[in-house]
A and B are shown apart, each in its own frame.
Chain A
Amino acid sequence: MKETQIAVIGGGPAGLCAALKAADQGVKVFIFDREPRLGGQLIKQTHKFFGSQEHRAGVRGIKIAGELEEKTQNHENISIFLNTTVIGIYEDHVLTALQNEKYIKIKFQKLIIATGAAEKMLPFENNDLPGIYGAGAVQTLMNVYGVLPGKKAVMVGAGNIGLIVSYQMLQAGINVLAVIDALPKIGGYLVHASKIARIGVPILTRHTIIRATGKEFVEGAVIAAVDENWEPVPGTERTYDCDIICLAVGLSPLIELLYLTKCEMVHVPSMGGRVPTRNIFGETTSAGVFVSGDAAGVEEASAAMMEGYISGLAAAKSLNADIPDFDKEFRYYLGQLSALRSGEVGEKIRKGLDRVLWQH
């Protein structure tokens, strides 16, 4: 059985930052990802990041993925396991995984779970027809593989993902007929909304999708206005002829592996679903098991990276690594996180964190 000091599950922004930060302290790290390449969902994010310089503002997600991947590959303390799906975590600090369909066992001392999130589904008639895609899936298809899922699209969801992916569909040559959202106002940043509004794409708030039409695949989307009680208003139905219905209705943390560790979980709707309770270092009620990134509650990639640095640092410290600047570094990343979560947009996250962070 192979042995490591720290096992990191998930090679996205949180997992890579956690692995790099721990490895920089001289600790041996194994990182596992079920996909054939590192980077997680950063590999399709062609938009430029926001925030300050420390949050890589102005840099495209795909570039950040490349940089983190290269550093990880070249780090002498990190071993990378790709095409490797972790399927079991045991109390004696052993995890089992399928690596290219071979069963392997790994002994670890500390575990960092950074499995990310998956897109939510929306209930409506015919919502299982081919041509209905998660917004992130369309982003991957277009931006990573250069393939178009169709020609004409209706986007459901005017949060940041819905707005950004709508713009990226336009860049790829897809005709975006409308962006709809049941909320009374646009949830995403105004700068993203303005970009598509300027091109002439209507953003219809207080609208919902009633059904998809088509037999074998999507041929149209029927939408309607909703009233204050979220009920469709009779007589407002209209149909768009489209072959893509894109859903950007939120994400849920991927918590299956966290459950295997038997850590305490609470349901926090504003964080996307059930999430583990933890201390400020990301350590859960299962001793030695840390969580970071979207698996800890859905935010965005910049926050995931900061959480990753913090749990990597703390996990290394708990292995008695010599980290003279621990307090300084920890406070720095914590300050970065607070900045990302400040203001009106961070309110939901701050309230959610009140429920999952143990008080000191």
Chain B
Amino acid sequence: MRIQEHPILEFQHEEEISFTFEGQVLKGFEGEPIAAALLASGIKVLRKSPELNRPRGFFCAIGNCSSCLMEVNGKPNVRVCVEPLRAGMIVRMQEGKGNFA
């Protein structure tokens, strides 16, 4: 969900673009963190923990906590809370500790 109206802020977005999450085509704004675009589309579970298979989501937003590691364009362990979204990105929930595609 995106904020439609705010009492003190106006949000300036770059171009709206498409990307895929687990094969599903989603929209987001160029340059915003990948995690912001996913949350805006209601995606909360970003990966499963390597050992206990517990769901993991967005947590710190500063690239510090490792909760949001995902596979982006075949590269594992990308911190999607700080990685800017680009058109055509292929975003996936990585398996375990991640493999290079």
Contacts and interface: CB of A to CB of B under 8 A. Distances in A.
Interface of A: 34-36, 41, 46, 118-119, 128-134, 136-137, 140-143, 145-149, 151, 171-173, 216-217, 254
Interface residues of B, number: 36
B32 interface: yes
A140 B55 contact: no
Contact of A148 (B3, B7, B33): B3
Contact of B40 (A118, A133, A136, A147): A147
Given A145-B32, A147-B2, A131 B11 contact: no
A145 B56 contact: no
A131 B59 CA distance: 8
A217 B57 contact: yes
Nearest to A214: B55
B44 A136 contact: no
Contact of B61 (A36, A140, A148, A151): A140
B74 to A, nearest CB: 15
Contact of A217 (B44, B59, B84): B44
B59 A134 contact: yes
A198 B65 CA distance: 35
Q: Is chain B's interface secondary structure helix, strand, loop, or mixed overall?
A: loop
B85 to A, nearest CB: 10
A141 B9 contact: no
Contacts of B57: 129-133, 217
A148 B60 contact: no
Nearest to B31: A36
15 contacts: A34-B63, A36-B82, A128-B67, A130-B45, A130-B46, A131-B44, A133-B58, A134-B60, A142-B3, A145-B11, A146-B2, A146-B3, A147-B36, A173-B3, A217-B44
A46 B45 contact: no
A46 B9 contact: yes
Given A143-B9, A148-B1, 9 more contacts: A35-B63, A118-B62, A129-B57, A137-B59, A145-B32, A148-B3, A149-B58, A216-B45, A216-B55
Contacts of B59: 132-134, 137
Contacts, number: 98
A136 B8 CA distance: 18
Contacts of B4: 173
B45 A118 contact: no
A172 B39 CA distance: 15
Contacts of A119: 60
A145 B33 contact: yes
Contacts of A141: 36, 39, 58, 61
Contacts of A134: 59-61, 65
A140 B6 CA distance: 15
Given A141-B39, A145-B36, A130 B56 contact: yes
Contacts of B2: 146-148
A130 to B, nearest CB: 3
B6 A137 contact: no
Contacts of B60: 118-119, 134, 136-137
Contact of B82 (A35, A133, A143, A148): A35
A137 B58 contact: yes
Nearest to A134: B60
Given A34-B63, A118-B62, A254-B64, A137 B3 contact: no
A41 B84 CA distance: 17
A130 B55 contact: yes
